[in-house]
Amino acid sequence: DYLAVKEKYELAMKNYDYSTAKNFALSKSFMFLNCIHESKLLLESCGIPVIMAPSEAEAQCVSLQKEGLVDYVVSNDFDVMLYGSPKIIRKITFQSRKKVKGRWISFKPNIELIDTYENLERLDISLNQLIDLGILVGNDYYPGVKKIGPVKALQSIKYFGKLERIMKKHPHLFTNLPLQKIVRIREMFSEPEIIKKPKIKPHPLNIDGLRELLLNDHRLNSDRVEKRLATLEKSYKKFAKNRDLETEKLVYEKSLKTNKFLQRHLDRAKKKVPDSFVPKLEFVSAAGLSESKKKGKKKKGKKTVQKKLILKSNS
């Protein structure tokens, strides 16, 4: 229990027993729940409403999207597609630097917009078949079937129609995946545990709470924090002018469509569906070397042959 561990941690700190306090601070029951608690506190202090999902956060986000409360689901996890999210935004960031192997490198933000049902139409499969495909290649609930990658999984689903027929034809591949588990995984994606029609209320901006969390608890640089808080407070006052006191609802002047930075990348993503999920059925591989003589020198060139994967099934 987080509160019990927190009480023991504070008691150890009060008695100057730092070794015991460190053990409590590094325990899973404290660290994980403390991260959730502080993340929720940070968002609510910034005026952002928070919903605690009873199970998977992705499933709750997709539920909000289907109810029309949000336009997009922002996530880098492809399992969002299996929950049936119509539109997904990946790799969203406003930073131009990231740390790789201890070094800061510059990069161009490349935001991806994925239309799930457009991809399903291109692949000529249904959402239920996509869930079966996810079981074959792996997801949050199952690591996947060995020796089956995205290409072979897609071809298998399109050829056999559903997972049970593949199991019947190739039972040796599914020794660790009983039918009951497949049914359970399907239910987790098609009927997840969510909060239906949650009440979303905006919170007022709490500058003092942010100072307490960032400066006192985490001891961040005070100059940088105060500079960011001043910018945040100025922006909040600007948007709070459109607040309807009768309905207690914030009406923002700038929506997602009017955000020039984000919209520019979304327009670019709409032109080309990302190939990160759509598998390529054909590939080019080197099949030999050919030698040619030119000006008395030998040059080696690669001869490419077009190959196509064909699903092997025992007839």
Predicted model pTM: 0.65
How far, in Å, CA of 85 to CA of 195, rounded? 16
Tokens of 117: 């049902």
CA distance 167 to 180: 13
Give ranges for CATH 1.10.150.20 in the chain.
55-190
Joined together, the tokens standing for residue 79 give: 């399992």
Strand segments (E) across the chain: 73-74, 87-90, 97-100, 103-106, 112-115, 282-294, 297-308
Distance CA 255, CA 178 (A): 47
For tokens 């027929």, the residue is 165
Grouping H, G, I as helix, E, B as strand and the rest as coil, residue 140 is coil
Tokens of 217: 């608890």
Class of the CATH domain delimited by 55-190: mainly alpha
CB 133 within 8 A of CB 154: yes
Q: Digits of tens for pLDDT over the chain (315 positions)? A: 566 777 787 888 888 888 888 887 777 666 677 788 888 889 989 888 888 888 889 999 999 999 888 889 999 888 999 999 999 998 887 777 777 777 888 877 778 889 999 999 999 999 999 999 999 999 888 889 988 899 999 999 999 999 999 999 988 888 888 889 999 999 999 999 999 888 887 778 899 999 988 988 888 899 999 999 999 888 888 776 655 433 334 333 334 444 555 556 556 655 544 444 333 333 332 333 233 333 444 444 444 333 333 344 343
Contact predicate 106/161, CB 8 Å: no
Both tokens assigned to 301: 């060139």
Contact yes or no for 273/81 (Cβ under 8 A)? no
Query: Distances from the Cα of 286 to the Cαs of 147, 290, 301, in angstroms?
Result: 22, 11, 10
What span, in angstroms and rounded, lies between the C-alpha atoms of 88 and 78? 9
Contact 200, 50 (CB under 8 A): no
